[in-house]
Structure 1
Amino acid sequence: MNAAADTAEQVHQSTWMDWAIRIGLVAYGVVHLLVAWLAVQLALGDKEGQASNSGAMQYLAQQPLGGVLVWMIAIGMFLLVVWRLLEAAFGYQDEQEDSKRWRKRATSLGKAILYGALGVSALRVALGSGSSGKGGTDSTTAKLMDLPAGQVLVGVVGLAIIGYGGFLVYRGWSEKFREHLDAQGQAGKDGSAYVLFGKVGYIAKGIAIALVGVLFGYAAITHEAKKSGGLDQALQKVLEVPFGQVLLIAIGLGIAGYGLFCFARAKHLSR
């Protein structure tokens, strides 16, 4: 058992794993740039594409060589899953406090699940089984509603999503994300630009995710699954508020900043 653990730890710390992480981060950055593009297009009146991760995959698949690129994104996401699972199992050995170590490992496991969901979405689109419909989230919420205490469960999910969005906003505002860049990646004019991308990116992504949580919360209060929704529906709701078009464009540009930060992190990886 110890030999297997030592082997896994060596893999986790290996040079090829660094390259796998870089490839995955580039793929993750591409997804965010596509979501940002679709969000801006939505703000400008184009409602054909979904401003969401799955919508981004479908949009990319329709472009020249898009099928190949979707496959590459799927592979990149699954590489990130492997990294995060190894991190959840063997990472943070230098942490002195057990509670802090296990909290970080749990966070890594959660990120593995998120990357895995995106990887599966890309894989489904690559295989031609990705749906262009917008009822997936409604259907999932309806199933939760049908469970015992389902209304409460949907509300808890909404609060958890809002909490995660708030956490991203906090990381952006406090610049905690700097730890993901090596010293060179934080130095000079390039470093200042990378930090700016990260700051606006984390804040914008956090706001967008929190809006999804608000929709879940509203669905729980009204007991109507159709009131919930994914990122695309949340961004459409932004258009209904005063200056919504300007706000949505700002969120789109912010999400693009997060995508660019992923590229910077891939170049100046610190883990």
Structure 2
Amino acid sequence: MSPPAPSLRALGHRLHDVVVRIRRVTDSPVLVHLARAGLLAYGVMHLLIAFLALRMALGLRGADADQTGALLTVAAGPGGRLLLIAIGLGMLSLALWQAAEVLLWWHGLLDPAHRVRTAVVCAKCLAKGAVYGFLGLTALLFALGLEYEADERLRDLTEDTLLIPGGALLVGTAAAGVVAVGLYTFVRGCTGGFMRDIDLPAAPDRWEPVIEVAGRIGYLAKGIAFALVGVLLWRAATSADVSTATGLDGAMTAIAGVGAGPWLLGGIAAGFAAFGGYALARARYPDRDPSS
């Protein structure tokens, strides 16, 4: 006679033990240091975007004022390929470290009273991990010489999507999602919830106000920029004019094209620089609390 099947409770305990062991791996000092290197690269990337946006505000064109432009700037410098590999590995480690926070919250999905909130928190963990992972893979592709410009890739993708049945709806949905991300980022800058990503007990008290101000300015600037990307993508969906489908660099160009554009773009550049400073502070005092 075969032994009775293990109870659901026993299976739950076993699964919990496995998750705890995996989480211990993601909490290892080695991965934490690699994740901090990823946060450092993330901060430097925003400082480079700020520099490229400032050049645009001054009427000087160079690499696109976006993530790919920042990576191309790194690639063109001394030891560019090695730096891109370091950035890529650091960002992928950061992605793993951030996404692994799901392992702390997953059990809440089994509790009907906390299921919705837990799902939102886990979605935030995975979304952050996906962003970091995408940037890490992009850096590694650039290190291999497989370079591209984000604006051109987005226009090509938008054009291909508009050619299929229901394509305009798909592009419009994506645009609404980008606008929502921009608004969320802007609201996070208003509320200061981003400070939960800083290990405040480890940070000196005198630096907390500086970090908070930098984070607020940075999140507000990023929120405005990303919301504008969504608006431009929405225009492409409603007008079938793919020239308006553009990424961050296109949004910067659109800002520069209005009457007070150079001043506004200078402000956005300052905001991205502030966010870069905030990211550097987070690299020094990292936390991955996604509950904000």
- Considering the TM-score relative to the shorter chain, is it more than 0.5? yes
Q: Report if the CA contact (8 A) 2:189-2:217 is conserved.
A: yes
Unaligned runs of 5+ in 2: 1-13
Aligned residue in 2 for 1:130: 147
CA shift at 1:93, angstroms?
A: 5.7
Aligned residue in 2 for 1:67: 81
CA shift at 1:33, angstroms?
A: 0.7
> 1:120 is paired with a residue of what secondary structure?
helix
Give the count of matched residue pairs: 270
Aligned residue in 2 for 1:242: 259
Identical residues among aligned pairs (%):
32
Are positions 1:97 and 2:110 aligned together?
A: no
Q: Report if the CA contact (8 A) 1:29-1:261 is conserved.
A: yes
- Whole-Å Cα distance in 1 between the matches of residues 51 and 107 of structure 2? 40
Aligned residue in 2 for 1:268: 285
Correspondence 1:37-76 to 2 at 5 A: 37-76=51-90
Report which stretch shifted further, 214-223 or 98-107. 98-107
TM-score (norm 2): 0.87
Which of 18, 22, 29 is the equivalent residue of 1:15? 29
Aligned residue in 2 for 1:5: 19
Aligned residue in 2 for 1:233: 250
- Whole-Å Cα distance in 2 between the matches of residues 225 and 4 of structure 1? 48
Spell out, residue by residue over 1:123-162, the C-alpha distance to the aligned partner (whole angstroms, 9 max, x if none).
1211111125842110011122123211011111111101
CA shift at 1:100, angstroms?
A: 1.0
CA shift at 1:48, angstroms?
A: 2.2
Aligned residue in 2 for 1:206: 223
TM-score (norm 1): 0.93
Unaligned runs of 5+ in 1: none
Report which stretch shifted further, 53-62 or 91-100. 91-100
Spell out, residue by residue over 1:77-130, the C-alpha distance to the aligned partner (whole angstroms, 9 max, x if none).
111221233223x13368671211111111221222211221122112111111
CA shift at 1:76, angstroms?
A: 1.2
Query: What is the one-letter code of the residue matched to 1:126?
Result: A
Report which stretch shifted further, 232-241 or 64-73. 64-73
Query: What is the one-letter code of the residue matched to 2:178?
Result: I
Report which stretch shifted further, 247-256 or 14-23. 14-23
Q: Report if the CA contact (8 A) 2:96-2:129 is conserved.
A: yes
- Whole-Å Cα distance in 2 between the matches of residues 14 and 135 of structure 1? 40
Query: What is the one-letter code of the residue matched to 2:38?
Result: G
> 1:258 is paired with a residue of what secondary structure?
helix
CA shift at 1:16, angstroms?
A: 3.0
Q: Report if the CA contact (8 A) 2:225-2:251 is conserved.
A: yes
Q: Report if the CA contact (8 A) 2:35-2:91 is conserved.
A: no
- Whole-Å Cα distance in 2 between the matches of residues 43 and 124 of structure 1? 29
Aligned residue in 2 for 1:157: 174
- Whole-Å Cα distance in 2 between the matches of residues 206 and 18 of structure 1? 28
Spell out, residue by residue over 1:181-217, the C-alpha distance to the aligned partner (whole angstroms, 9 max, x if none).
1224665332111111101011111111111111110
Query: What is the one-letter code of the residue matched to 1:67?
Result: R
CA shift at 1:263, angstroms?
A: 0.9
Which of 172, 175, 192 is the equivalent residue of 1:175? 192
Report which stretch shifted further, 157-166 or 223-232. 223-232
Query: What is the one-letter code of the residue matched to 2:66?
Result: S
Query: What is the one-letter code of the residue matched to 2:40?
Result: V
> 2:223 is paired with a residue of what secondary structure?
helix
- Whole-Å Cα distance in 1 between the matches of residues 114 and 27 of structure 2? 21
Aligned residue in 1 for 2:237: 220
In structure 2, relative to structure 1, the CA distance for the partners of 1:268 and 1:119 (3 Å cut) is same
In structure 2, relative to structure 1, the CA distance for the partners of 1:183 and 1:251 (3 Å cut) is same
Spell out, residue by residue over 1:208-250, the C-alpha distance to the aligned partner (whole angstroms, 9 max, x if none).
1111111110101101222200111110000122211001011
Aligned residue in 1 for 2:165: 148
**Cα RMSD (Å) of the superposition?**
1.9
